[in-house]
Amino acid sequence: MAIISIQSEIKNILPQIQLAGLEASVAIAPTSPDQGVWIRKQIEKLQVKLSPETIRQTPNVKATKDAYRALGKDPNRYRPAAEALMRRIANGKGLYEILNAVDVLNYISIKTGFSICGYDASQIVGNISLGIGKAKEPYEGIGRGELNIERLPVFRDAVGAFGTPTSDSTRTMINHKTNKIIFIYIGFNAKDELEEALTETTALLVKYADATDVSTFFI
């Protein structure tokens, strides 16, 4: 597993920031009928609890948006991914069914409010660090094209920026050829919730993506 660190530039502004995550070997496949039925049932249960106000007050969503503001980024213009997914569910649009592991990530994001970053481990070069996005730093978000990541929390490797809580990048996105994944959760004073989220994520990846060799970490 790559070494993952938090740079002082972001730690000094957000001293409570924590990272947790997992690495696993997986068998990526389209969403199976069984997984699709299960996810739709879970989303129906969550939908009745979601409204613009309850989403705003979800602790992990609120903490992420407060962190964006502290870094100098507008969280309503650059919504954290979990909030965007929750708003989609609240509007009755359902959850995208993409690939088995990606669907697990999106479901856990909606349930917990953590904007989970999911990557193809083979596309990450060298070690990983979490810092703050720079002006005009190149970044192509999935389904978003060129994304202005200035002042966003940003994961980088030896090549450059590849992940934010607003949108993962096309360079490291999980796809049909992926066989090893890394999920990273950014928490703001939420260690117990991070542990619970990791436990549930692991169980679902084992069930729906045949995950093996799962290792977890906390930073």
Does residue 66 have a pLDDT over 70? yes
State the DSSP code for 97. -
CA distance linking residue 154 with residue 23, whole number of Å: 19
Once rounded to an integer, what is the mean pLDDT over residues 156-170? 94
CA distances from 173 to 42, 76, 102, 153, 176 (A): 25, 24, 10, 18, 10
User: For the domain bounded by 4-218, which CATH number is listed?
Assistant: 3.50.40.10
The model carries a pTM of 0.92
Q: What is the DSSP string of 119-161?
A: EEGGG--S-EEEEEPPTT---EETTTEE---TTSEEEE-SS-E
CA distance linking residue 155 with residue 157, whole number of Å: 7
Q: What is the pLDDT of residues 86-116, one digit of tens each?
A: 999 999 888 888 899 999 999 999 999 999 9
Query: Taking the CB of residue 22, how many other CB atoms lie within 10 A of it?
Result: 20
Q: What is the pLDDT of residues 43-55, one digit of tens each?
A: 999 999 898 889 9
Does residue 134 have a pLDDT over 90? yes
Residue 2: the pLDDT is: 74
Best CA proximity match to 32, nearest among 106, 104, 118: 104
Amino acid at 90: A
Does residue 205 have a pLDDT over 80? yes
Residue 191: the pLDDT is: 67
Once rounded to an integer, what is the mean pLDDT over residues 160-165? 95
CA distance linking residue 200 with residue 132, whole number of Å: 29
- Listed by start position, the domains of the chain span 4-218
